[in-house]
Amino acid sequence: MDQLWQKLLAFGSSGSFGGAPEDSVGAFDSGCDLSAGTVAYLTDLLGEAGCTMMLYQTALTHRSFVHNPATSEPVESNQRLEFLGDSVLGLLISDYLFRHFPESAEGELSSTRAKIVNSRSLAGFARTIALGDHIRLGESTDHQNIRGSESALADAFESLIGAIYLDKGLQKAYDFVVRHIIEHGNFNAIVAAEHNYKSRLIEYTQLHHLPPPLYTVLAEAGAEHAKSFTVTVSCNEELLGRGTAFRKKDAEQLAAREAMERIEEQRVSCNNA
C-alpha cells in the first residue's frame, strides 16, 4: 500500500498526471476574474499561492454564473471539477480509513466513507471555511439560498479539491483533506455516528403497519476462517435487498441498505409520476 501511495504521489506531482501543463498556466490565468479578497482567501486556505488561479475560479463557479447576462466570455461551471474532486476525495478518504481502521471490514469502511463524503458532511466542512461566501453566482439567482445550499456547498468543496489536485498534486490535496476534514471538530462524531439501515428499515415497516423485516442467510462461501455470507431481507414475502460480507451483521446491513435505497427510489418515482 505504501509503495502504491508513493507512486501516486510521484504521478501527482508531475505534469502528466495531477498537475497543470506548464505552458497552460499563463493562458489559464489571463482571464481570471477572482477578486483580491478571494485570492487572499484561497492563499490562506492553501497555505501558499495557487499556481493556476483559473482552476480555482472554475471550482468556485456555480452553474448559474454560466448563464449570467453580464458575462461576455464563455464560462465553465465547476461541475467537471466536482466530478474529479469526488474521485480524488474518495481515494484519499479510503486510504486514510484503510490505514487507521485496520480492524474494520470492507462493508464498515464503505459505510464510514459514505458518512464522510456525503453532501451533508461536505457542506458542513465547506461552511466551516466559509466557502459559500466565495462562490460565483449568476445575477438573477437567490444568492443567500444558494450560498447556504447543501448541494452547492458540497459541489464547490469537491471542486476545490479537484482544483488543488490539478494545481498542486495529490500530496497537497491530501494535506487539505487532513486540515479541513480529518482534523475537523466533527470528524470523529461523523465516523462514530450510527448508520444503521436495519433500524431505519424497521422504523419504515412499523410506520406503514407492515410485518417486521425477515433476514435469511442465502449462502455461505469460503474457508471457515474467511467465510462470506449472503443475506437477503424481505417483507410480506417480497424480496427487498441482498448483501454479501464476511460477517452476517455486515451482510444484513448491506441488505437493509439496498432495501432502503429501493424504497427511496420507488418513493421518488411515485412523486414524479
* Active site amino acids: 86, 158
Diameter of the chain measured on Cα atoms: 67
Q: Which residue has the cell 499563463?
A: 26
83 near 89, Cβ under 8 Å? no
* Bridge pairing between strands 238-245 and 228-235: antiparallel
CB within 8 A of 222, min separation 6: which ones?
Answer: 228
Stated as kind and residue range, the H or E segment containing 218 is strand 214-221
CB within 8 A of 183, min separation 6: which ones?
Answer: none
